[in-house]
Chain A
């Protein structure tokens, strides 16, 4: 039809579309006002912190702000294999002197030391020379500074300063996967014996995967029972499933410690029935076993509930139909019942996997050295090394990983097929 199609008008002569919009405007505003508090809450507690976290993880403006003249001068430094010109030295001296006056020089030393080991020593030496006023500003500063320590004559240290010039850096992200930005600007791997993060990432994925698997194999029959038992028993079973939900996570983890430790109840029982010797009690805690056991138990309800809600909707007559049409009970289950529970399986697995991948308290308490996850490493950098930007970077990598998994899942199963209840 042509664009000149006559507009439909209401009896008052107002175009119908305009009239409709007007009529719905009030409702739209009301609906928006209803969700506005939630939206605000999400922005304040979720979107804003994530943005802040991202900024922190890539922020490297500290040195940029501390050495403005140096970096300006360094723009003309072309042959990076040779020491920079007198101009650069002078600019650096002036920047540093200003920092000394503002008592900021210590921070710079520490920051540069992270970039190149041994930097702190030579900046301290420079600081002392400036304090004692031993530097003649009218003479060549390049010569004077080079004399303070032999490292000032090493071009690698100047290259290190140059590397800190950009206000934003991906260095923390590279560190998160055991890589770093080499002196020549290329990405390199850290030495094999110092690659700890990759192991942690892989272990996190492995533990999350197996916890999901265990939850699935334990949760499926439970959910099935819940959905098919008579009300009287299913209510009781439901309470058993939900009971852990009503108990503090910390308490549950602590009770696993009581159960699993070497002198614990489970080991006592094994000894009692003669499964293991008293002097050869197996370690069930402070390793992967502990993490698996405790996390599976804690995350089980997240598998059972979506499965249950899906199974509840499957009419028992479908299984009967399958059997009456000649399918053995197994065939009827596998061809009829199981495919119908896939939305629940998808929801349960996704939920458990995503929760497991970011789990923190339980692995921290029962995981020991071999059972800790990436989240424990994040916490370590938050609390112990105070390298918040690195912690932020790893947190964001974790978040991205979860989003990627969600995306893959959506491609494979389709989020529309997820049923949570």
Chain B
């Protein structure tokens, strides 16, 4: 990108509310200028706390936060120049849409003409021209959301924080808003730090995703890598669907290992396991396992269909395989689809590179 790769920097940040439990542990995170980074994690994983520390509503217990090279831990929120979109929008209910958008400009003593211009520009960005005189209560949820986004952007902040902004919208609206926010980000190049617990939202929108759990970043990488190459079993479990086998490493090579399950052995790709005898959880994406594969694959087994669920674009098949009845297959519903019936035996195969041997759960 050619821009500052450490535009926002969390440097060894700890946060504790009660002096007993660390909500955020030794957080080290660099955010590049113009990047769309998502903090993803289950509730209570510390992601919102990180956002609040960046916004200035919480102070780090230890460590520093840097914005464009300057330590901001002691700067109050109103001087940080960081835009924020709140979970429930936090539009000022007693002000019109125009006044809401003009608020950050008025407190900065911007000229009236300039305010009009900027408000107009921000509203056209979220395609809400003509709504200036409406009160927030007269807008639909999606419109309120857009106003909140426009308000966070209208004063040209260097960084915009979004705290689960789409949580209150219904599914269709949420998806269209995801694209809209993504396009706004692409067109103006602002740095966005986005917090969500919805993995599909994170995968759709982000340049990079930081998966939080237990106060720590589990993995920080781009969406494809996060999905294809999870580095530990938490990430594998949290992002997307996942078939797991628990077992023990009996043989390990450079890029292959043999894992002993209860009554069989499979070949897997060693990611975190280092030596023989280690306990491991092998993770395999459902779409990586094929039915009656044409090519030879290094893992070939026979399973019994337990359940077939029609999902429109694909069919989910639950199998009893290798002693587990929770093995999921995703079969695209193409015209050449084969007949799948319950209690039928089918052959399943997958490559050992797709079966990632991770830390044991």
Instruction: Please give the residue numbers on chain A whose beta carbons come within 8 Å of chain B beta carbons, in ascending order.
Output: 315, 317-318, 320-329, 331-332, 335-336, 339-340
Contact = CB atoms under 8 A, between A and B. Distances in A.
A329 B107 CA distance: 11
Nearest to B93: A340
Contact of A325 (B56, B93, B104): B104
Given A326-B78, A326-B81, A329-B78, A318 B107 contact: no
Nearest to A325: B104
A320 B88 CA distance: 12
19 contacts: A315-B88, A315-B90, A317-B90, A318-B92, A320-B77, A323-B56, A324-B56, A324-B57, A325-B78, A325-B104, A325-B152, A326-B78, A326-B107, A326-B108, A329-B76, A329-B78, A331-B78, A335-B92, A335-B107
Contacts of A322: 92, 103
Nearest to B161: A324
Interface of B: 55-57, 76-84, 86-88, 90-94, 103-104, 107-108, 151-152, 155, 161
Nearest to A342: B94
A61 B107 CA distance: 69
Contact of A320 (B86, B107, B155): B86
Contacts of B81: 326
Interface-centre pick from B84, B108, B155 (highest chain A CB count, 10 A) = B84
Contacts of A332: 78
B78 A323 contact: yes
B107 A331 contact: yes
Given A329-B78, A335-B92, 13 more contacts: A320-B57, A320-B77, A321-B84, A321-B92, A323-B56, A323-B77, A323-B78, A324-B57, A325-B151, A326-B104, A326-B108, A329-B76, A340-B93
A33 B91 CA distance: 45
A255 to B, nearest CB: 41
B77 A324 contact: yes
A354 B62 CA distance: 54
Contacts of A327: 78, 103-104, 107
A71 to B, nearest CB: 64
Contacts of B87: 317
Contacts of B90: 315, 317-318, 320-321
Contact of A317 (B77, B88, B104, B151): B88
Nearest to A338: B94
A344 to B, nearest CB: 13
A271 to B, nearest CB: 45
Nearest to B77: A323
A325 B88 contact: no
Contacts of A325: 78, 83-84, 103-104, 107, 151-152, 155
Contacts, number: 70
A310 to B, nearest CB: 12
A189 to B, nearest CB: 48
CB-CB nearest 6 A-B residue pairs: A325-B104, A321-B90, A317-B90, A324-B84, A323-B77, A327-B107
A302 to B, nearest CB: 25
Given A317-B86, A317-B87, A331-B107, A324 B92 contact: no
A257 to B, nearest CB: 45
A315 B155 CA distance: 23
A402 B83 CA distance: 48
Contacts of B86: 317, 320-321
Contacts of B103: 322, 325, 327, 335
Contacts of A324: 55-57, 77-78, 80, 82-84, 161
Contacts of A336: 92
Interface-centre pick from B57, B83, B92 (highest chain A CB count, 10 A) = B92
A233 to B, nearest CB: 16
Nearest to B79: A326
Interface-centre pick from B76, B79, B86, B107 (highest chain A CB count, 10 A) = B107
Contacts of B57: 320, 323-324
B152 to A, nearest CB: 8
A216 to B, nearest CB: 20
Contacts of B92: 318, 321-322, 335-336
B34 to A, nearest CB: 20
Nearest to A336: B92
Contacts of A317: 86-88, 90
Nearest to B104: A325
B65 to A, nearest CB: 15
Nearest to B103: A325
A327 B155 CA distance: 12
Nearest to B154: A325
Contacts of A323: 56-57, 76-78
A166 to B, nearest CB: 55
Contacts of A320: 55, 57, 77, 84, 86, 90
Interface-centre pick from A321, A329, A340 (highest chain B CB count, 10 A) = A321
Contacts of A318: 90, 92
B146 to A, nearest CB: 15
A228 to B, nearest CB: 14
Contacts of B155: 325-326
Contacts of B151: 325
Contacts of A326: 78-79, 81, 104, 107-108, 155
A92 to B, nearest CB: 71
Contacts of B83: 324-325
A416 B330 CA distance: 58
B219 to A, nearest CB: 29
B96 to A, nearest CB: 13
A340 B88 CA distance: 17
A323 B77 CA distance: 6
A335 B103 CA distance: 9
A326 B154 CA distance: 12
Contacts of B82: 324
B326 to A, nearest CB: 41
A44 to B, nearest CB: 43
B104 A340 contact: no
A328 B79 CA distance: 8
Nearest to B57: A320
